[in-house]
Structure formats: C-alpha cells, structure tokens
Amino acid sequence: MAGLALYLHIPFCARKCRYCAFVSHPLPGGGAGKALVRDYLRALRREINTAASLAGRQVLGSIYFGGGTPTLLDPSDLVSLLEEIREHFDWGDDIEITVEANPGTVSADGLRLLRDAGVNRLSIGAQSFNPEELELLGRIHGVAEIYSAFYAAREAGFDNLSLDLIYGIPGQNPSGWRAVLEEAVALHPEHLSVYGLSLEEGTPLAEEVAGGRLQACPEETQVALWEITGSLLKAAGYERYEIANFARPGRQCRHNLTYWLNRPYLGIGAAAHGYFNGIRYATHGDLKTYIENSLRGRLPRAWEEHQTPEQERTDTVIMGLRLTRGLSRSAFRHRFGYSFEDVFGEQLAVLEQEGLMEENDEFIYLTERGRLLANYVLAHFV
C-alpha cells in the first residue's frame, strides 16, 4: 500500500437525501448548473496544480472521488480530472482508483469510459434493497436501479465493486434487515460498507424523529441488526476488517486504510479534508468561496491545524483501533519511540477487565463487544 492517497470531493447531487449532513449541493438545472460545474472543475484543476507544486511530484497509491455524487458529472469530466492528476503526480503500479456512484446516475458507456481511464473500483450507494426504506431515506433510485448499476459495472469490466448499506432506519426490524443483506450478498460484491443511521441535527429525518412523526430505531433493535450483520456476512465469506467495513480476502479499500492508519493524504475540492506534512486541514465548503480562492492560486483552506506529537498519537490510536486487527505495537513504537503501554497502560488494563479490549504479541484490538461500544472505548484515549 505504498504511495500517497488523494481524495477529490465532488459536492453535487441530484437531490439532498433526507438523512444527509455532508457538504453537498443539489445541482441546478439548465445553464446555471452547467456553468457551476464548469467553474468548479476549473477550480479543482487549479487546486490540483497548486497542491502538487507544494507537495512535489509524489507517487500516488490511491485516488478516491467522493461526494455528493461524482457520477452526476459527465464521465468525460472525471476522466479529464484523472488526466490532470497524472500530469502532476506519478501513479503507483497497483494504484487503486475509486469512484462513488449512485444508482440511476450511471450508464454502461460511461462506466466503460471510466474503466478505460484507469478507474478500477466502484462504490455504489445502494443503502437498502427495501423500496419503502429507500423512499424514507429520500434516495433518488429504486431497487431496480441498484441492479442495473451493478450489472452495468460488471459488464464494463469492474471486478472490484462495493455496496453501501444503512441499518437502523426507522421501522426496520431484524427480518427485514436480514433480507436486505441477503439480497446484497447475492450480487457477490467484493466489499460492503455497512453503517448505522446517524440522525444528524438539521436533517429532515432527524427533525421528523424529534417532532414525533417518526420513531427512531430502538437501541436493542440496532444491536440485533449489528449482530445479524456480522454473522451473516462472515458466513458469506466477508471479513470485517474495520468496524463498519467488510471485504473478501484482499479486497479491503486501500484508500480508506490510509485514514485508519493515520497516514498522509491530500484532500482536494470544496469541504475536503487532508493531512499532509503534519498539518490537518479542511477546504472551504461554500462553493463560491472555494472557487474564488482556488482560481486565484491560493490553497482554499478554511482551517489548518499543525499537529502536535500528542495529537498525532491520539489520532493514530483512535483510527487504528477501528481496524479489526487493531493497533500494531511495533508500528506504534517505530512511529513514536515508546510503547503503547507506556502511555495507555492503565486504560488498556481497565478496558481488558471490562471485556472490551484484548491483545497479543503484535496487536492491541477491540473485542466484538468493544466494537459495538466503540465510541465509549475510544473516548478513553482522547
């Protein structure tokens, strides 16, 4: 997994989902939408140029187009961005290039164009195979569009496909969730990302729950859904390699492993985050501000944080313990010059006694119950 990771944020979507708190903007129709995309792509190219001039000619191990909905753009626009990146960065021999895609926004011809340009991984935002749940979430697609997108990707030559799913949706029950998982597994994707629904303040779904018009999924039901997820996917041949991510052997998302191993990456685009040369940063989320700053040749950053050794250590622990295998003792010592127990021995002892953490000669990791209570466990290391 050698090489720097590069993330590009495409903030446009056809319609804001009812649970979404990410920085994304419904794309206007007609000329206004085309002009906005044109200006944003110009700003992206300029930021790629500016970032490369500061970072130097790095070798990239992964590129990830996230959003929003990257596939809302014309595939040729995504290809042109890849060409721009290639002008400024070297690509590793086994580079992983991922594009997030929503069903209903891809075509067979467009997917072939992306595949021919070097995109070798597609992450499809299915979220559910239940029509009522898709409607409740405010998704623009139905179940048929999930199948169409998946089969079109296979026909275009993609042999590394991921499906995103959400559990803990209001009204969801164990039998319904099992049916969703079984339908997803029947497609034989190489990877599955399975996240619990988060009711984010300010989203329509959260407001309906707060107003009593919807009932949140009870905690005991969410625990049952979590347990079903682990057992069913394990039986189907998927390994849980991170709290919410499952893969067939050798198909872990290498780009996201960069985050979990707290390694450097460049974030490009409005509201993108990055971590490079010991600096964490976020770019402006407001599109006008982002575009104006970027086109002037400035790094369009809304904030920067020069990491202290203590902050780097905390982030390394918090992210590394999300991995099923856990935190590497030798890597920790090599990075910081002392052992994990030198700093966190007391916390480890308490959490082991509570049955939430375990260890072996090389790794310190969360137990199954510890992963279920990850927020509680990880708070001990902040």
Strand intervals (E) in the chain: 4-10, 12-13, 25-26, 59-67, 90-101, 121-127, 161-167, 191-196, 239-242, 245-247, 265-268, 273-276, 279-283, 301-306, 327-328, 357-359, 363-366
Predicted local confidence at residue 33, as pLDDT = 86
Band of pLDDT at residue 202, cut at 50, 70 and 90: confident
pTM attached to this predicted model: 0.96
Q: Looking at 53-57, 108-112, 154-158, 165-169, which range is the least confident one? A: 53-57
Task: Transcribe 140-151 into DSSP letters.
Answer: S--HHHHHHHHH
Alpha carbon 121 to its chain centroid, in Å, reads: 13
State the virtual CA torsion across 250, 266, 8, 133 in degrees, nearest 10: 60
Convert the pLDDT of each residue in 24-63 to its tens digit.
Answer: 888 888 888 899 999 999 999 999 999 999 898 999 999 9
Structure tokens at 105: 């926004």
pLDDT above 70 for 1: no
Domain 4-260 has CATH 3.40.640.10: no
Domain 309-381 in CATH 1.20.58.760? no
Report the pLDDT value the prediction gives residue 72, as an integer from 0 to 100.
94
- Residue 89: per-residue pLDDT: 96
What is the average pLDDT across 211-219?
92
Measure the CA–CA gap between 198 and 177, rounded to whole angstroms. 17
| pLDDT tens for each residue of 104-141 | 999 999 999 999 999 999 999 999 999 999 999 999 99
Domain ranges of the chain: 4-260, 309-381
The mean-pLDDT minimum among 132-136, 202-206, 245-249, 277-281 falls in 202-206
- What integer pLDDT is reported at residue 127 of this predicted model? 97
Q: Which amino acid is at 326?
A: G
Average of per-residue pLDDT across 214-228? 94
Which residues are 277's β-sheet partners? none
| Segment 92-105, tens digit of pLDDT | 999 999 999 999 99
Q: What is d(CA 57, CA 59) in angstroms, rounded to the nearest whole number? A: 7
pLDDT for res 2: 74
Position with higher pLDDT, 187 vs 56? 187
Q: Tell me the CA distances in angstroms from 322 to 16, 25, 242, one per residue in order.
A: 29, 30, 6
d(CA 253, CA 233): 17
Dihedral sign (CA 137, 138, 141, 142):
positive
pLDDT in tens, 361-376: 999 999 999 999 999 9
Q: What is the pLDDT of residues 322-362, one digit of tens each?
A: 999 999 999 999 999 999 999 999 999 999 999 999 999 99
